[in-house]
Amino acid sequence: MTYRIFAWGINFKTAPVEDREKLACSREEAYYLLPLLKGVEGIRELMLLSTCNRVEVYGVAEEYEAIYKLINELIQLKGIDPKIRRNSFFLEGEKAIAHIFKVASGLESMVVGEPQIVSQFKEAYRIAKESGCTGKIINRLYEKALKAAKRVRTETSISRNAVSVSYVAVELAKRIFGNLSRVKVLLVGAGEMAELCAKYLKKLQAHLFITNRTYERAVNLAMELEGHVLRFEELKEHLHDFDIVIVSTGSKNYVIDYHMVKGAIRKRNYKPLFFIDISVPRNIDPSINQLDEVFLYDIDDLQEVADKNLKERLKEKEKGEIIIWDEVSKFVKWLDFLKVEDLIIRIKEEWKEERNPRVKRLIHSAIEEIRKEPHLAEKLVKIFLQEVENANTRRKLSYVHNRTNGA
C-alpha cells in the first residue's frame, strides 16, 4: 500500500489575511468538516490546523487525485472562490513531514519559536482523532512532531527569544504610547490569545478593562488580573473611554464597525484611538482606517514588530532545522518499515512451525535486515529463500549420507 503523506493550505507566507480569514475554521466547523473530507475517496487520514496565521490540512492519501478532490471539496464547503488555490502551497513526502514538524516546533510561525502553536497543534489533532479521521500514520506523525518540538525548545535557545502574537500586539501598544501605566486599554474577548495579552498588559501596569459576550468569562479573567469589566452590550456606549482597543474573539462578523468608531472618535474630540485586531477572521471593520486620528493594525501588521528580533532567532532556527531533519529521517525509516510490515508478519506466520535451528536463525537474520533496510526487502527475501533452500538441501544430503554409512 502506498502512503502518500501531504500538506496543503495557506499561511501568512503565501496569502494575505483577507484570504486566510475566508478559509479559517472554528472548532465547531472543524468537527463538521473533517468527517466530510475524510469521506473523499482515497483519503485515509487527515487533520486540520486553523490558526490566525495558517489554515492547513495534513493527511495521508492513496493517490494525487484524492488530494485534488479533497482540496476542491474543502473550498466548496467553505463557499469561497477556487482562485484561492493560487495563494496556497502543496508539499508531499519528506518535505510535508518536515513542514509539519516545523509548524509544531514554531519554526514556521510569524514569530519564530512562539510556544502557543504547540497547544493549537494538539487541539487540531484532538479534534481530528475525536472525529475518527486519524490512524496509524497521523498518530505517529503527531507524536514525532511533538518530540521534534520538544527537542527544538530544549536543544536550542530559540524559546528565549520567542514571543507570541499576543506579546507582539502589546509591544505595538508600547511603541504607540511608551509608558502604558497611564493608558486605558480595552480587551475585547477572553480566549487564549486575549488572556495572554491581558497578562502582558498587567505586567506593564496598564489600566485594563475586559469585555466578552459571556460576561462570566470576562469577570473571571478580570478577577485573576485585578482588571475591570465592561458589559459587552455597553461596548458602543463606552468605546470612546479607551486609548487602545485589542480585539481577539472567535466571531465571524465585525465586533467593531465603522459607525461605532466614528461616534467614539467624535466623543474623544479626535484624540487618537488605536485598534489592534489579532482575530482571524478579522473582528474590526478595516474601513475605520479612513477616519481621522484612528489607527488600525491587523495580524499582518504585527510582522514588522516580530522582525526586530528575527536575526537572533534565525541563528537558533538553523539549529532547529537540523533537529527537524534528524527527526524526519527517523520517521521516514519507520514509514519504510510500515510498507514491509505485512511481509514480515507473513514470513513469521509461514515459518512458525520450522524446527531447523539454522533456518530459524536465517529467519531472524532476514527480518532484522529488512527492519534496517526496508527498501531492500525484495532482494533480502530472495536471498533468504535461497539460503533456506540450501540449508534444507544440506540437511537432506546429510541424512542420505548417514543412511548410507549405516546400511
Which residues does 179 contact at the CB level (< 8 Å), separation at least 6? none
The Cα–Cα gap between 155 and 342 comes to: 37
| Rama region for 93: left / alpha / beta (φ>0; ψ in -120 to 50; rest) | left
The Cα–Cα gap between 303 and 281 comes to: 17
Q: At what angle do helices 136-155 and 116-130 cross, to 10 degrees?
A: 170
Q: Is 232 helix (H, G, I), strand (E, B) or coil?
A: helix
Reply yes or no: is the peptide bond before residue 281 cis, omega within 30 of 0: yes
> In terms of Cα–Cα distance, which of 292, 228, 287 is closest to 264?
292
Q: Which of 25, 52, 133, 197 is catalytic?
A: 52
Asked if 146 and 104 count as a contact pair (C-beta separation under 8 A), the reply is yes
> In terms of Cα–Cα distance, which of 63, 94, 70 is closest to 9?
70
Residue with cell 467553505: 78
Q: Which amino acid is at 196?
A: L
CB atoms within 10 A of CB 214: 10
Phi, psi of 389 (to 5 degrees): -65, -40
Is-catalytic flag, 133?
Answer: no
Sheet holding 43-50, edge to edge: 43-50, 54-61, 4-11, 89-92
Phi, psi of 153 (to 5 degrees): -70, -40
Which residues does 352 contact at the CB level (< 8 Å), separation at least 6? none
Which residues does 335 contact at the CB level (< 8 Å), separation at least 6? 3, 5, 137
Half-sphere exposure of 264 (CA within 13 A, CB side): 26
> In terms of Cα–Cα distance, which of 9, 10, 4, 1 is closest to 94?
4
Segment (H or E) for 10: strand 4-11
Catalytic residues: 52
